[in-house]
Amino acid sequence: MALAASDPELYAMLERERARQRDGVELIPSENYVSAAVLEAMGTVFTNKYSEGYPGRRYYGGNEVIDEVERLAQARARALFGVPHANVQPYSGSPANLAVYLATCQPGDVIMGQNLPDGGHLTHGWKVSATGIYYKSVPYHVRPDGYIDVDEVRALARAHRPRLIWCGATAYVREFPFAHFAEIADEVGAYFAADIAHIAGLVVGGAHASPVPHAHVVTTTTHKTLRGPRGAMILVTERGLARDPELAEKVDRAIFPGLQGGPHDHTTAAIAVALGEAARPEFATYARQVVANAKALGAALVEQGFTLVTGGTDNHMLLVDLTPGGPGRGTFVQEALDAVGITVNKNTIPGEPVSAFYPSGVRLGTPAATTRGMRESEMRQLAAWMRRVHDEITPYRLPEEREARNQVLREFREAIRQNRALEMMRAEVRELCRRFPVPGIG
């Protein structure tokens, strides 16, 4: 490889990451493995081109092939989601969401989104995000049972008359009530935006309801369940164009020149490849298996004595409430699982008793494991390992005194590094993973 000869230091890091992905189980719900074809598209000469503007309206010459690539990605997105307009240029999900604000709102307008500690996203109006600084954010919440409080959404919308209402989340395990949001948005005259970054692959695979008949605009990343590169798309629906015939043009102007310069053409090419893959019948089979695996993993975790937010899942994601073992337990469980090769992420739970820095839950997802070919039996094995790991670290608790926490975590990390039982489990996890090759890695 040219990289190995040109930069052996970086190549060594690449090989270590390749081994980590091959020999461990990725259970972070926002992660997945792309196909060898998507990987190949990402590493092509398309990365050499600069192409500010849109197909047929570029500010640089030499874009005749790039125009074909972007038009192909747009056409595949429109067909796959059933929308009249698709912008495939957003660098990631956050700028895609910010573009929706620019297209529909003025600074200072009232907006509504799911509260971040309740599973929402930073860009839906959280206070440290630009979306919470430049717009007046009125967050809604989940009920004590973990479901979105639709009655609260309606009451807040009637009281505050928002310009824009978001439905979408980073840690919500049930099907989104898109129709209810559409009714509420219509009642108060708001735009309704659905952020389906997590569930896009499930939507096109028929494993989750689509927001397209209900929302005015839809945003999504192209990785996660859609199994593409790290990019994003903005989709304008027929309903959106009926609300504002210029909405598609406003979205395009918000992306360029409003927020971005030249698109990443190698990413656009890889998005086109991923959308082509998602249109095949086998992708629908994959999407259904993702949900089946999540349900199987959830049931097995409950059998192992864990508590799940809402008691289960409708999608690819599970949120484990670890407060029975003490508040702030998520950090300990995440790092201990990492030590055996099971990658999860610590996460707040509804009514979080500590903070996002020391959350009391972990978030799990099945897209990546399903891509490797793992099925229900492997989900049960993963749940058993999680129970064993959890029990190994039972003595460790998050101190109430803030100044004592760093010392306890240092001691904990050294203890798990030397833990013989965890080391033996690491070998078991590695053995399982070797039976399920990673696309593009082996």
Distance, CA of 423 to chain centre: 30
403-417 mean pLDDT: 93
Res 121: pLDDT:
95
Residue linked to tokens 């864990």: 306
Q: 194, 136, 179: which is closest to 160 by C-alpha?
A: 136
Higher pLDDT, 114 or 325: 114
Could you tell me the pLDDT band of residue 108, with boundaries at 50, 70 and 90?
very high
Does the pLDDT at position 353 exceed 80? yes
Mean pLDDT across the chain? 97
What's the confidence (pLDDT) of residue 1? Answer: 74
Q: What is the pLDDT of residue 41?
A: 97
pLDDT digits (tens, 9 = 90+) for 216-234: 999 999 999 999 999 999 9
String of DSSP letters for 396-423: ----SSHHHHHHHHHHHHHHHHH-HHHH
- pLDDT, tens only, 139-168: 999 999 999 999 999 999 999 999 999 999
391 CB-near residues (< 8 Å, 6+ apart): none
pLDDT at 402: 87
Positions annotated as catalytic residues are 50, 52, 195, 221, 224, 230
pLDDT digits (tens, 9 = 90+) for 168-177: 999 999 999 9
Q: Which residue has the higher pLDDT, 355 or 345?
A: 345
Torsions phi, psi for 162 (to 5 deg): -70, 155
Q: Does residue 189 register a pLDDT over 80?
A: yes
CB atoms within 10 A of CB 288: 15
Residue 49 pLDDT class (50, 70, 90 cuts): very high
The one-letter amino acid at 249: E
- Could you tell me the pLDDT band of residue 309, with boundaries at 50, 70 and 90? very high
For the beta carbon of residue 311, count every other beta carbon within 10 angstroms: 11
Domain residue extents for the chain: 40-278, 289-433
Query: How sure is the predictor about 356, in pLDDT bands with cuts at 50, 70 and 90?
Result: confident
For domain 289-433, give the CATH superfamily.
Answer: Aspartate Aminotransferase, domain 1 (3.90.1150.10)
Q: Is residue 328 over pLDDT 90?
A: yes
Q: Is the pLDDT of residue 442 over 80?
A: no
Is residue 277 scored above 80 in pLDDT? yes
Mean pLDDT of 375-395: 97
- Asked if domains 40-278 and 289-433 share a fold, the reply is no
* Cβ count near 108 (within 10 Å): 9
Mean pLDDT along residues 64-85: 98
So what's the pLDDT on residue 350? Answer: 92
Q: What is the pLDDT of residue 46?
A: 98
* Average pLDDT of the residues in 329-349: 96
CA distances (Å), origin 362, targets 322, 379, 387, 421: 8, 16, 13, 22
Residues 6 or more apart whose CB falls under 8 angstroms from that of 324 comprise 307
Assigned fold of 40-278: Aspartate Aminotransferase; domain 2 (3.40.640)
Angle of CA points 321, 326, 328, to nearest 5°: 70
Bridge partners for 319 per DSSP:
363
Residue with tokens 């008691």: 311
Coil vs helix vs strand at 151: helix
Residue-level pLDDT at 441: 87
